[in-house]
Amino acid sequence: MSSIQASTAIPQTQLTILGTNITAGYVLVGTFTAPIELATIVSNMDQAVQLSFDGVNDHIAVPIGSTVPVIIPLNFKANLMVLAQISVFAKRIGTPTTGSLYISGFSATIP
């Protein structure tokens, strides 16, 4: 029999970078201060970018989102996982001239 366990969502400070600040090599977008159970990546840039969680390997490609913003939800908790306190890096696939990349994260505590 399954049970529901209450938790409290704690929003982390949003990580943001202008598309024009993303270079051909990985640049730090920011670091979350707690393990993340849910993350959302939003792009309204006119070119695609690549994300990395270690600054070396490619992990998530984010497509162009200038006409309709691209929204990528990552629900680690649904898969009984968390993303440890981690930094997020971005590099160009294309060369963004407009827009930004926004990464929101939520952690949780069990009361």
What is the CATH classification number for the domain harbouring 31? 2.60.120
Q: What is the pTM (predicted TM-score) of this model?
A: 0.83
Q: Is residue 2 part of a domain?
A: no
| 22 band by pLDDT with thresholds 50, 70 and 90 | very high
In eight-state DSSP terms, residue 76 is T
Q: What are phi and psi for residue 73, nearest 5 degrees?
A: -85, 140
Measured CA to CA, the distance from residue 57 to residue 86 in angstroms comes to 14
pLDDT at 72: 81
Domain extent, residue 61, equals 8-109
Residue 36, Cα to own-chain centre: how many angstroms?
Answer: 10
Total structural domains within the chain: 1
pLDDT in tens, 30-69: 999 888 888 899 999 999 999 999 999 999 999 998 777 7
- How far is the C-alpha of 68 from the C-alpha of 32, rounded, in Å? 27
Asked if the structure places residue 3 within a domain, the reply is: no
